[in-house]
Amino acid sequence: ESVLKEMMEYSRAYEPTLTEKDLLQIIEEILSGLDDFFREKNIDVLREFPQRPVLLALEMDGISKIFEQVFKNAVSMIGPIGGRVTVSVQPMDQPGEVLISVSDNGRQIPDDIRDALLDSNPSAKTFEGGLGMPLARKIIEAHSGRIKIEERADRGNTVNIYLPITERG
């Protein structure tokens, strides 16, 4: 039943209604909402945020789903004794873009699972890990962004999300 529900959500057309919001405030709210989850798993969360707001045109529900999924995936890669998740937000040298990095110090994502997480054509193998990350990729792309997973040898994983910053005239 849950697989069918995920598949239906994934296959539905997603066309976000964009509103300008402060990305830092949204991420902070999501992290605060997951405080008990992080504490239960013995996970320290480090924040590396700029001092000024980061304004983006986005759709709240979609962006919230993305970050909740990415934070929970990072925790799932960390063993039972706990660890660390680092959330970094930084404007890029390329004008009009922000990089959001979520790094963990857990085990590396196996190649087949990593490929399935970002697969745009879900198969039975994709369902093993759920459709959370393929759905996150779909939402990110609908926001004119992109996502990449980076393995850091013997130091965990980093999910990099690139989103366009609202242009100020």
- pTM of the shown model: 0.82
Task: Give the residue ranges of DSSP H helices in the chain.
Answer: 2-11, 23-33, 35-40, 60-76, 111-117, 124-128, 132-142
CA–CA distance, 58 with 63 (Å, rounded to integer): 7
Q: At what angle do helices 2-11 and 132-142 cross, to 10 degrees?
A: 20
Q: Residue 65: CB partners within 8 Å, gap ≥ 6?
A: 135, 136, 139
Share of the chain above pLDDT 70, in %: 76
Instruction: Indicate the pairing of strand 156-164 with strand 146-152.
Output: antiparallel
Q: What is the model's pLDDT at position 105?
A: 92
Q: What is the model's pLDDT at position 4?
A: 57
pLDDT digits (tens, 9 = 90+) for 80-122: 888 999 999 998 876 789 999 999 999 887 776 667 666 555 4
82: number of Cβ within 10 Å = 14
Instruction: Indicate the pairing of strand 83-91 with strand 97-104.
Output: antiparallel
Q: Which residues of the chain have pLDDT under 70?
A: 1-14, 94, 112-114, 116-132, 167-169
Q: What is the model's pLDDT at position 18?
A: 86
